[in-house]
Amino acid sequence: MNEILQSVDPAHGNVVGEVAMIAVEAIPSVVARSRAAQITWGAMTPVARANIIKSAIPKLQAHAIEIGTLISREMGKPLTEAIGEAEGCSATLAREIDNIVAGLEPEIVNDDKVHSEMRFDALGVAACITPWNFPVWMPQDVVIPSLVAGNTVILKPSEKTPLCADAWAKHLIAVLPTDVLQVMHGDERHGKALVNADVNLIAFVGSRSAGKHIMREAAGELKRLVLELGGKDSLIVLEDADIQAAVQYATQSCFRNAGQVCVSTERIFVHKKVADAFESQLAKSAAMLVQGDPKNPDTQIGPMVDAEQKAHVLGLLKDALKDGAKQVAGATSESDTPGNYVRPTVLVGVNPSMRIMQQETFGPIACVTRVDSDAQAIALSNASPYGLGGAVFGEIKHAEIVARALDSGMVGVNKSCTGAHGTPWIGAKQSGFGYYRGKAGHRQFTQTRVVSREK
């Protein structure tokens, strides 16, 4: 008899629903069905595959409020943001799927003697293992390009948000041929078994430690990998920065989704000449945020996803305060943060050697460190194994020079790190191996093959 996985509302403690976990020993048969389905699916053109997927878009759009409401209930995201995630996914899918197709078109390369075609073909079976913080965005980012490329997909969503994945995937499964997309529920045991199964590609979004495990396990057969492994993003506030704009950005970046975002700003390096103004304004801005029931339309910050995540965040906070950091915004007592809530918190006087500056916090804690120079800010920002995103605020040419010196895959100048449509979502150092989005990202889900002939 299969084990049952319960989904619990982090704001109220209620059981939202439950799903059956697959038996670990049954995973090879799931993969075998996926491999059998891939023969016909992979023989189709990218255009034909995309057209099938497009037929699910009206249903995804029609059910966006329902899916968004489920996101809010399962992981505690404020309802408006959760519905925005679901609506944004369906809108993005409608806009971008043709760009995925275009990115997979053959490229012609000629010289005087040889005509070559670079083709972007299916790898086979893709295992997509996705997290709970964006339980629809993350599956869409890895499942759709996998499918358009001609792979069949086994999606293992986080055990903390299984219902969201089901609600999203069922509309795709309804239009796809049998076994082209399968959803597999389970915990860490099931994820490890899927990684070790007969799959060709593993697309994973999650922790650095889990990514390292996947990379070790995949090495035996040199399975292809697309890994997005979190971050410890920095914000550098230069002495010529617009302080109000920097504070506005920091407030959004540090506390959105209760800090449970891979590109949340977790480290802030501010020039000492403007530090007083920045720190006081950020503390006031954090204190004004409305935290509460995700269903309340006024709520801006919901709870942590569960008690385990809250304990992790509060453990880092406690250590930082013990080691000399000063709290200028946040809870004043345990009664201020009942249940799974953590108040948006601002720490100043943070030493870069503190544990909270080394480990991924994934919670609503803004850590501010004063610096004497650009060089010091750059060195401290780069003194991390992570390198996903970052931001620099200052006079634009000055800020661009600093931005180019950061060891991050994505850097924003006077804005977030998010790039223009068509740019990849890409990490540096231990924040990623492979990447997704954009033409280059879509091709990560394929086997590049060069076919050549003499002219």
CATH code (residue 280): 3.40.309.10
pLDDT digits (tens, 9 = 90+) for 317-368: 999 999 999 999 998 877 778 999 999 999 999 999 999 999 999 999 999 9
276 and 343 housed in the same domain: yes
Q: Among 164, 254, 262, 367, which one carries the catalytic annotation?
A: 262
Examine residue 90 and state whether it is found in any structural domain, yes or no.
Answer: yes
Sequence-separated (6 or more) residues with CB below 8 Å from residue 376: 269
Question: Among candidates 172, 198, 193, which has minimal Cα distance to 183?
Answer: 172
Is residue 85 left, alpha or beta, with left meaning phi > 0 and alpha meaning psi from -120 to 50?
Answer: alpha
Catalytic annotation on 228? yes
pLDDT in tens, 138-194: 999 999 999 999 999 999 999 999 999 999 999 999 999 999 999 999 999 999 999
Same domain, 439 and 375: no
Within this chain, do residues 166 and 286 fall inside the same structural domain, yes or no?
Answer: no
Are 117 and 257 within one domain?
no
d(CA 432, CA 93): 24
| Position 342 in a domain | yes
pTM of the model: 0.96
Within this chain, do residues 299 and 357 fall inside the same structural domain, yes or no? yes
Q: Which domain holds residue 296?
A: 233-385+389-413
Which entry of 96, 228, 279, 360 is annotated as an active-site residue? 228
136 token code pair: 């629809």
Same domain, 146 and 237: no
Q: Are 72 and 87 in contact (CB under 8 A)?
A: no
Dihedral of the CA atoms 332, 338, 344, 350 (nearest 10)? 60
Q: pLDDT tens string for the chain (455 positions)? A: 679 999 999 999 999 999 999 999 999 999 999 999 999 999 999 999 999 999 999 999 999 999 999 999 999 999 999 999 999 999 999 999 999 999 999 999 999 999 999 999 999 999 999 999 999 999 999 999 999 999 999 999 999 999 999 999 999 999 999 999 999 999 999 999 999 999 999 999 999 999 999 999 999 999 999 999 989 999 999 999 999 999 999 999 999 999 999 999 999 999 999 999 999 999 999 999 999 999 999 999 999 999 999 999 999 999 999 999 999 999 887 777 899 999 999 999 999 999 999 999 999 999 999 999 999 999 999 999 999 999 999 999 999 999 999 999 999 999 999 999 999 999 999 999 999 999 999 999 999 999 999 99
Residue 128 annotated among the catalytic residues of the structure: no
Shared-domain flag, residues 135 and 269: no
- Asked, for residue 421, whether it belongs to a domain, the answer is no
Tally the domains of the chain: 2
The sheet carrying 107-110 orders its strands as 107-110, 114-122, 446-454
User: Do 321 and 252 share a domain, yes or no?
Assistant: yes
Q: Are residues 446 and 346 in the same domain?
A: no
In a domain, 163, yes or no: yes
Q: Look at residue 61 and tell me if it is in a domain.
A: yes
CATH number at residue 140: 3.40.605.10
**371 and 360 share one domain:** yes
